[in-house]
């Protein structure tokens, strides 16, 4: 298809693994992705998505105090 690239082509273009690009497509993190019979078609004009993996909710704050190995079982 003209104007689209495969997951493998996108992974080579962006320097990411094919599995990671596939996961980005599943999570709708890439604009304009279309799924055809189990394979994703990514627009060639798509930019590499940012990979902001920071926890912004504070859910992991002080997790060692709560779940640390020195914590006594109750």
Residue pLDDT, tens place only, 24-53? 999 888 999 999 888 999 999 999 888 666
Contacts 24+ apart (CB under 8 A), 33-37: 34/4
**What local confidence, expressed as pLDDT, does residue 4 receive?**
94
Name the pairing type of β-strands 39-43 and 34-36: antiparallel
1-24 residue pLDDT tens: 789 999 999 999 999 999 999 999
Task: Say what the pTM is.
Answer: 0.66
**What local confidence, expressed as pLDDT, does residue 71 receive?**
57
N-to-C CA span, the chain: 60
Catalogue all structural domains in the chain, each as residue range(s) with its CATH number: 1-45 (1.10.10.10)
Q: Identify the CA nearest to 18 among candidates 27, 30, 26, 10.
A: 10
Higher pLDDT, 57 or 50: 50
**For helices 7-14 and 18-26, what crossing angle results, to 10°?**
110
């Amino acid at each position: 298809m003209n104007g689209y690239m495969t997951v493998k082509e996108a992974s080579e273009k962006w320097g990411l693994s094919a599995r990671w690009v596939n996961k980005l497509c599943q999570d709708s993190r890439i604009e304009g992705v279309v799924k055809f019979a189990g394979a994703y078609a990514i627009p060639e004009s798509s930019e590499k998505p940012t990979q902001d993996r920071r926890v912004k909710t504070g859910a992991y704050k002080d997790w060692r105090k709560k779940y640390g190995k020195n914590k006594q079982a109750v």
